[in-house]
Amino acid sequence: MAGEIQEKPRMNFPFPYAPYPIQEEFMAKLYQVLETGKIGIFESPTGTGKSLSLICGALTWLRDFEEKTKQEEAQLLAGEINGKDTNKQLEKGITESATNQVSTGEPDWITQFVQKKEEREATQRLKEEQIRKKKREARLEQIRHNVQLKYASKRKRSEEEEEMKQLLQLSQDILSSPSESGALEPLDQGEEELILAEYESDDEKKVGNRLSEADDDDDDIEEEHVTKIYYCSRTHSQLAQFVHEVQKSPFGKEIRLASLGSRQNLCVNEEVRRMGAVQLINDRCMEMQKNKHEKKSTGEETEKKKTRVSRTVCPFYSYEHMQFLRDEVLVQVKDIEQLVTLGKEMKACPYYGSRHAIPAAQLVVLPYQMLLHDATRNASGIKLKDQVVIIDEAHNLIDTITCIYSAQVSGSQLCCAHSQLLQYMERYRKRLKAKNLMYIKQILFLLERFVIVLGGNVNQNPKTQNISEAGVELKSINDFLFLCQIDNINLFKVRNCLACNKIWSFLFGFVERYGAAGAVKIRKADQKMSGLQNFLETLNKRQGEEGELEAEDDQPKMASPLMHIEGFLAALTNANQDGRVILSRQGTLALSSLKFLLLNPAVHFAKVLKECRAVIIAGGTMQPIADFREQLLQSAGASADRIEEFSCGHVIPPDNILPIILCSGPSNQQLDFTYEKRGLPQMMEETGRILCNLCNIVPGGMVCFFPSYEYEKQVYMHWGKTGLLTQLAAKKKIFQEPKRANQVEQVLAEYAKCIKRCNQTGGPMTGALLFSVVGGKMSEGINFSDDLGRCVIMVGMPYPNIKSPELQEKIAYLNKTMPKAAGQAPGRMLIDNLCMKAVNQSIGRAIRHQKDFASIVLLDHRYSRPAIFNKLPQWIKSQTQVKAGFGPAFAALRKFHWEKKSNGEAVSS
């Protein structure tokens, strides 16, 4: 057996430098999982080069896979193989077909005929696909090596556009006089485009326009997706960092990469970008597209309408320009910022242009939501069939899916949507088709019933309606439908109507016309519209000077909230056992809300697992892994033998980290930070004494994590009264994590500046102490490397609020549906796992590279319990010491930092 292992060739992965052994192990395991089509859970601590390992391991596999596929296709086309030597896909299809034929008792000659026919069809498909590939590669090669060719078509299009503008202006001047005398009344002219009946065939018009624009480029429209890797992460900054790693990797010059993002990050239309809020940007973009398609479909008659002047279209939404941008994207790797710059130069929309690059791209980089949300994925043109998906920074994957498919609507939004839709229906009732009118009435009825169950009335101002019975109530989906008395309505059809006809889009134009300042005034004769202007005045209030939204609404302001409510209606179509509806009645109707809580995220992740060839779930800290394996993967139908786990150690030497679980303080007070005891004066004072002692021996920066903002504030005020704060400030300058996100960078900059100044000047002040909060702004994504984080202290255990109705419902669901593990109830395990995930993320902020060092102090005797201790990351757990008393812990910490300081001084000298 040993001889067989030695004879097995070792894979060589292209890498920008000599990889660490753990990186080689990571890439080899990754390659194996991709090759065998499995699901991998990969844990690699920050600082171990996880991104590069993912890039080089996955792209090496993709390169080998493409080469093997080319050889098989060449053999098939050359007719060199048949029967048993047929490529795997063809062999599988033929075998299945033959089996079916035999089972039906067909003669052999019929079976052979079917096989031959399938072989010919498969060969023909390969020939057509190869022709498309050659065309694409030739086009990209020309663009890559011919700078003049890059901009030749761009100049030609600019000249044509200028000529078209002149002709259009001339036509308008000629037609201006007759249109004034013979035009219909402004109301009819301006409002025809708001009638829902005219929009039913809009999708067909859109497809027709695209086809007519690209008659000579049919290959691009029907281009098949090449085998590719979808890489997704949590934030745009993380995606940008990944793309930069790709650019520096050995694959940076040859890989075809497409970066996808939100409109907020990719829009280059300044008029739209100035709207600020995400939903407003999305609404405005969709409205501009609608204007463009309607303008093209109506032909010359549209140009005769003077009201069209105010119906702007996006100058960057040009199919031809976006195709040119697509080619530029595929030629050279570009991140989001570079894509935006290119879009501005080429006058092409990066948001839609990057989507055109998806079929030909080998690596697609995109945010979580775009891949995990089914409707967004389909709208973006993402096809997962037989592709590879890598989900990085996946420690919160379960919560992310739960959040994506949960939906919440406020009483204010429900009343607003009801009023808008009612006014719209009354104004255009005679022009609407019967089916559309029926669905609008159903939607109005749904909105009214939702408001009634909250204890309100749709005909009154939600801000002034007081709710008599305040409180929170949970219902199953079916019980909620019965409570609202809407169980007789087919929500699937209503949702499809909203999605297909885009009623919210027409309400957008309706509100834009009658709600915005300076809009066309409503005729006095229309008394039924008299209250609309007053009601909609609040909808167009933009963000204040501080950039904050109205206090009573958590959701961003939008022209019509019906699109947001559509998400809630879609959520109600989930299976009854997979979710709950939370009725929150709070003071006034405006503050009350309905929320759908998804209990089973696996039901939505199942499609990703089913369609993909392989799925990689990766992160720096994935412990505890049981959540992913049981709640997400196995519940989604993945078999245990398809799931592979890989966890590597850290690149730092073992003696560069000292984790300690401290069970009692200097005065022998047991450290028990349960909710009942953590607020006791003696517990807060004992914590202060521990920090004072640590400040005397730890150089540079110390980061102290508290379980909540409220507790951090309580402790800070208590220390201020007792004088402990003054003692701490004598050794370390104290900083507090701000609650506002826009203040984080300033606090971090001052914190770093203070530590650097203390290191240079010396004196009694040895650095800085930063009070942070678990789950706050600094517990994820912030690097406290080197002197910024020589010691991380965790005060207590950040358990979630057990009294939360949502958490209680989740616990009850898991206890009912999941089996016990190691004698522990699934609900209890969930609570422990949520706590330790937060702890692991926070303490992982310190060690960031190979030569870094830090100590970690966990203040609570409960960390020593096996059920908790075993949920620490392996690279920390293996070095962790449990100290019952403060004396031995203090001695170990003093020795650790003294040796590191001495070694550092020796190296520097």
Q: What is the 3-state secondary structure (H, E, C) of 687-751?
A: HHHHHHHHHHHCCEEEEEEECCHHHHHHHHHHHHHHCHHHHHHHHEEEEECCCCHHHHHHHHHHH
How far is the C-alpha of 379 from the C-alpha of 400, rounded, in Å?
20
Task: Provide the b/e sequence for 699-709 (b: ≥16 CB within 10 Å).
Answer: bbbbbbbbbbe
Better-predicted residue by pLDDT, 902 or 545: 902
What's the confidence (pLDDT) of residue 636?
A: 87
479 falls in which pLDDT band (50, 70, 90)? very high
DSSP 261: -
For residue 528, give every residue at least 6 positions away whose Cβ sits within 8 Å of its Cβ, in sequence order, or none. Answer: 423, 426, 427
Contact 576, 477 (CB under 8 A): yes
Contact 607, 615 (CB under 8 A): no
pLDDT in tens, 760-777: 887 788 899 999 999 887
Which CA distances in Å does 183 have to 187, 296, 302, 514?
A: 11, 20, 12, 22
* Mean pLDDT of the 518-546 span: 36
Instruction: Give the rounded distance of the alpha carbon of 892 from its chain centre.
Output: 43
pLDDT in tens, 541-556: 333 333 333 333 334 4
Better-predicted residue by pLDDT, 665 or 307: 665
How far is the C-alpha of 491 from the C-alpha of 856, rounded, in Å?
53
* Bridge partners of residue 583, in order along the sequence: 473, 594
311 falls in which pLDDT band (50, 70, 90)? low
User: Which secondary-structure segment (H or E) carries 73?
Assistant: helix 50-78
The one-letter amino acid at 525: A
Which CA distances in Å does 10 have to 49, 56, 60?
A: 20, 15, 14
How far is the C-alpha of 623 from the C-alpha of 621, rounded, in Å?
6
* Mean pLDDT of the 396-400 span: 88
**Has residue 179 got a pLDDT over 60?**
no
* Mean pLDDT of the 611-628 span: 86
Task: Burial-class residue 164 by CB neighbours within 10 Å (0-12, 13-18, 19+).
Answer: exposed
Which CA distances in Å does 785 have to 43, 735, 753?
A: 20, 17, 14
What's the confidence (pLDDT) of residue 672?
A: 93
Contact 883, 892 (CB under 8 A): yes
209 falls in which pLDDT band (50, 70, 90)? very low
Contact 636, 602 (CB under 8 A): yes
What's the confidence (pLDDT) of residue 290?
A: 67
pLDDT in tens, 681-736: 999 999 999 999 999 999 999 999 999 999 999 999 999 999 999 999 999 999 99
Give the β-pairing of 614-619 and 39-43: parallel
Torsion of CA 905, 659, 651, 618, to 10 degrees: -140
What value does the mean pLDDT of the chain take?
78
What's the confidence (pLDDT) of residue 536?
A: 39
Token match 């998400």: residue? 567
Which CATH fold would you assign to the domain 229-287+315-385? Rossmann fold (3.40.50)
**Has residue 221 got a pLDDT over 50?**
no
How far is the C-alpha of 728 from the C-alpha of 735, rounded, in Å?
11
The string of DSSP letters for 400-428 reads: HHHHHH-EEEEHHHHHHHHHHHHHHHHHH
User: Which secondary-structure segment (H or E) carries 886?
Assistant: helix 886-908
How far is the C-alpha of 733 from the C-alpha of 97, rounded, in Å?
75
User: Which secondary-structure segment (H or E) carries 397?
Assistant: helix 397-405
User: What is the residue extent of each domain of the chain?
Assistant: 21-72+612-647, 229-287+315-385, 407-518+560-603, 654-906
Query: Quick count: other Cβ atoms within 10 Å of Cβ 884?
Result: 15
Better-predicted residue by pLDDT, 633 or 132: 633
Question: What CATH class has 407-518+560-603?
Answer: mainly alpha
* Mean pLDDT of the 600-604 span: 91
- Tell me yes or no: is domain 654-906 CATH 3.30.70.260: no
Which CA distances in Å does 686 have to 6, 500, 881?
A: 57, 62, 20
H helix intervals, 429-489: 434-453, 477-484
For residue 844, give every residue at least 6 positions away whose Cβ sits within 8 Å of its Cβ, in sequence order, or none. Answer: 45, 46, 620, 621, 873
The answer to whether the 229-287+315-385 and 654-906 domains have the same CATH topology is yes
How far is the C-alpha of 262 from the C-alpha of 367, rounded, in Å?
8
**Has residue 215 got a pLDDT over 50?**
no
* Bridge partners of residue 200, in order along the sequence: none
Which CA distances in Å does 435 have to 8, 206, 501, 510, 655?
A: 68, 23, 11, 20, 73
Query: Quick count: other Cβ atoms within 10 Å of Cβ 12?
Result: 9
How far is the C-alpha of 864 from the C-alpha of 870, rounded, in Å?
9
What's the confidence (pLDDT) of residue 292?
A: 61
Better-predicted residue by pLDDT, 495 or 362: 362
Handedness of CA 62, 63, 69, 70 (dihedral sign): positive
What's the confidence (pLDDT) of residue 77?
A: 66
276 falls in which pLDDT band (50, 70, 90)? confident
Among candidates 449, 462, 530, 456, which has minimal Cα distance to 491?
449
The string of DSSP letters for 596-645 reads: EEES-THHHHHHHHHH-SEEEEEES---STHIIIIIIIGGGT--GGGEEE
Contact 282, 560 (CB under 8 A): no
* Number of helices and strands in the chain (H, E): 38, 18
Helix axes of 724-731 and 681-697: crossing angle, nearest 10 degrees: 10
* Measured distance between the N- and C-terminal CA atoms of the chain, rounded to whole angstroms: 51
Which CA distances in Å does 366 have to 227, 239, 281, 384, 403?
A: 16, 7, 19, 13, 18
* Mean pLDDT of the 669-683 span: 92
What's the confidence (pLDDT) of residue 595?
A: 93
**Has residue 637 got a pLDDT over 90?**
no
Q: Kindly report the CA angle at 571 between 569 and 572, in degrees rounded to 5? A: 65
Better-predicted residue by pLDDT, 549 or 537: 537
How far is the C-alpha of 843 from the C-alpha of 792, rounded, in Å?
6
H helix intervals, 454-585: 477-484, 491-501, 503-515, 532-536, 562-571
What's the confidence (pLDDT) of residue 729?
A: 92
Q: What's the helix, strand, coil split of the chain in %, to 5?
A: 60, 10, 30
